[in-house]
Structure 1
């Protein structure tokens, strides 16, 4: 009897050790690994178990973070520059989401961050392919962590992630209905989203004019380029539309003398404008959507961290170099880059019980708030009037006005004050409200 009890105790200890994570890079328990989403396509995830004072981490929800690009790394940018437990310099972040919930960073599409493909033929080229790979990733994740199958799941995203997340959520929902996967998916949140690219592009000129960043001549030049982009989108000439988006970006740079696309009030270094002007259109587009920062020193710090101490700590295979395939990822999606996914958001709102959130920083240019509001007005679902008729309320945190929100049906829009494109880092107080609204924690 004693021997049997001792054996059970040993098994419980083993189970507890296996069920929990392990020391990783930074504080708290973590887990990470690869899921082969297709032959030749290897997707990387990095899980941070919550550090909340709970008896078991499954008492708190699981939040997925998807970066943009396509080709920007969640494990790098989202983790170390926005919401993970430590920043690029190893300093602890007091607003990390990990203190309230479990956070799963996924490097996607394959070829992004630590994810990699055996050769370029295995890269995705469409949003649907990205979504299906993410569903396969979650099948592999749940197989290793079945304790999370019943834990509320929330998908958060940023920028181009605002195109990937809706279709991922929709395909995960349908896979669940087909009994292909067990998951407790509750909500999807689109942060400063590239959900309808042309609405973002058309908002650049009026937004910059209102702020006094360009004059009427600059407005006219940007608007002319943006309207041509819109014509190409209307004609479904997608590759040309992507190229013209790059030309419109150039007009913004010239008229504004190098305004920061991620925060219009951010300090612009004197030599940045000159560097941008000598780059090719393809280089500028890649730097804007994937690199996230035009400060080369800053970029180097991130690359040194991810290819050095982090890769060593996580035991990343030696042949994998963080973000080494990201330029190919970005370029191969040029046929899909300017396509909207408004119809996918409509389907989420009409055909699923999921909560859909959209949050937008008021100082963001690349996915400017006016453009986001305009594509939301184009949504057409059965409870549309509930949203249109709903009041717009203030977001107040510790007696400070942090933004506004509007809810109707299963859609909520959040306007984030004092924030650019990276809302979790720019205004963590406002984002804590968004988290509480969508996950009940934060």
Structure 2
């Protein structure tokens, strides 16, 4: 009886969330990876790990990993770090040097969401030096690489070009994913030893934000154990999926914007209560099901993707253009991926399914207590993680400054005399509300977000 009930709810969830861009998967997709899973060995890829094994061989690794610019004089390196030899797990990276060419420029690690979406989307759609126009890479005016060294990693294993040869190589929890990520960073700084002392920041959005405090705490722990240290200074988390039990709060937001009526608000609140109760009872998988019913409300209101409250049919075709570009024969050769498969996020979702709604609030609280700078930003038009959900994350932090930040007065934030949003801060935590921004905040407000990044790092 219990199994039958569980299966019914599970199927309902997948049907409802088929059109939800945040969990873009269904029962058929989740069965597929397990029933038809194959492991192919990519050919003509560049693994830099063997080159780094020999002492001082990082020069050869860099020579092999160098990428010819697609436009301008962009200097970059790409390849694969082997993070688990037993499972033959490899993480793909693409690293861009600061165009200012200053030796002390901070290093930024970008982590995309999904979970399981390639960080190549962040590179080409949001913050990297290139943007795809008519199938060609052209220079982006608001690129972060103008001022900073930026590292993009396809995280976790199974995202983008990152791959494994065994099912055990896929991460099932945030901790497992972060262990692989740290190993990739360890090798990165071995490959680029001159950047070890540079300020290091981690930036991520949506589910990508969930890795950040866990990674920060692991870096802190490893720094106390190892002679080689990563000079972590801070992190930026955009529309982060951090503390679901407190972030499941859509009813009032949807009602205020007229997406649901009073009865709909009552319904959504009941779905939220069911989901929270299941989470608190220790059933994270079952807790996802009621969220599918909330997603269905958005679908019935005409939203193809609940990413932008002002644009129910937001155009995401540029993501397909990015995939077409990085998987074209000529580009594959230049970025050293050979014939490696460019994965969608189905496999990652399958293995992460029990961890999707777990909280990292305790980890974020610890990061703040350790004194690292943290900036949490949210978009005005985001339907996936509405801005008030960031408020709720902060309210429930086990950190002394949380209440003081909540009750502090927001200050206007201007970029070239234009109101970009509102900001408030206390101690080492800053919270920013970004006007006219959807779920892909950097993508929708590139100029403003570059300004915010520069102020955060210099402040």
Q: Unaligned 5+ residue runs, structure 2?
A: 1-58
Structure 2 residue 402 is matched with structure 1 residue 387: no
Structure 2 residue 400 is matched with structure 1 residue 377: no
Contact 1:111/1:323 (8 A) holds in 2: yes
Alpha carbons of structure 1 residues 264 and 354: separation in structure 2 relative to 1, 3 Å: same
Who is 1:280 aligned against? none
How far is 1:414 from its partner?
Answer: 0.7
CA distance, structure 2, for counterparts of residue 242 and residue 26 of structure 1? 44
Alpha carbons of structure 1 residues 188 and 406: separation in structure 2 relative to 1, 3 Å: same
- Report the structure, 1 or 2, having the larger helix content: 1
Structure 2 residue 80 is matched with structure 1 residue 34: yes
TM-score by length of 1: 0.84
Structure 2 residue 279 is matched with structure 1 residue 258: no
* One of 291, 304, 315 as aligned partner of 2:336: 315
Contact 2:75/2:96 (8 A) holds in 1: yes
Alpha carbons of structure 1 residues 247 and 88: separation in structure 2 relative to 1, 3 Å: farther
Structure 2 residue 67 is matched with structure 1 residue 48: no
Structure 2 residue 354 is matched with structure 1 residue 328: no
Who is 1:216 aligned against? 262
Q: 100-109 vs 378-387, which deviates more?
A: 378-387
Who is 1:302 aligned against? 322
How far is 1:21 from its partner?
Answer: 4.9
SS in 1 for 2:75: strand
Who is 2:68 aligned against? 23
For these two proteins, the number of residue pairs brought into alignment is 393
**CA-to-aligned-CA distance 1:99-154 (integer Å, 9 cap, x gap):** 11111101000110111011222100001111111111111101111011001101
Contact 2:442/2:449 (8 A) holds in 1: yes
CA distance, structure 1, for counterparts of residue 96 and residue 251 of structure 2? 41
**RMSD of the alignment, in Å?**
2.2
Who is 1:232 aligned against? 278
Contact 2:67/2:78 (8 A) holds in 1: no
SS in 2 for 1:404: strand
TM-score by length of 2: 0.81
CA distance, structure 1, for counterparts of residue 338 and residue 451 of structure 2? 39
CA distance, structure 1, for counterparts of residue 320 and residue 397 of structure 2? 41
How far is 1:430 from its partner?
Answer: 2.5
Alpha carbons of structure 1 residues 117 and 244: separation in structure 2 relative to 1, 3 Å: farther
Structure 2 residue 364 is matched with structure 1 residue 345: yes
Alpha carbons of structure 1 residues 246 and 311: separation in structure 2 relative to 1, 3 Å: farther
Q: How does 1:15-414 map to 2 (within 5 A)?
A: 21-27=66-72, 28-39=74-85, 40-52=88-100, 56-75=101-120, 77-89=121-133, 90-179=137-226, 181-202=228-249, 204-254=250-300, 256-258=301-303, 260-268=305-313, 295=316, 297-308=317-328, 309-318=330-339, 320-324=340-344, 326-350=345-369, 352-414=370-432
Who is 1:419 aligned against? 437
CA distance, structure 2, for counterparts of residue 122 and residue 198 of structure 1? 29
SS in 2 for 1:88: strand
How far is 1:305 from its partner?
Answer: 1.5
Q: Unaligned 5+ residue runs, structure 1?
A: 1-13, 270-292
SS in 2 for 1:91: strand
Alpha carbons of structure 1 residues 268 and 385: separation in structure 2 relative to 1, 3 Å: closer
CA distance, structure 1, for counterparts of residue 164 and residue 71 of structure 2? 28
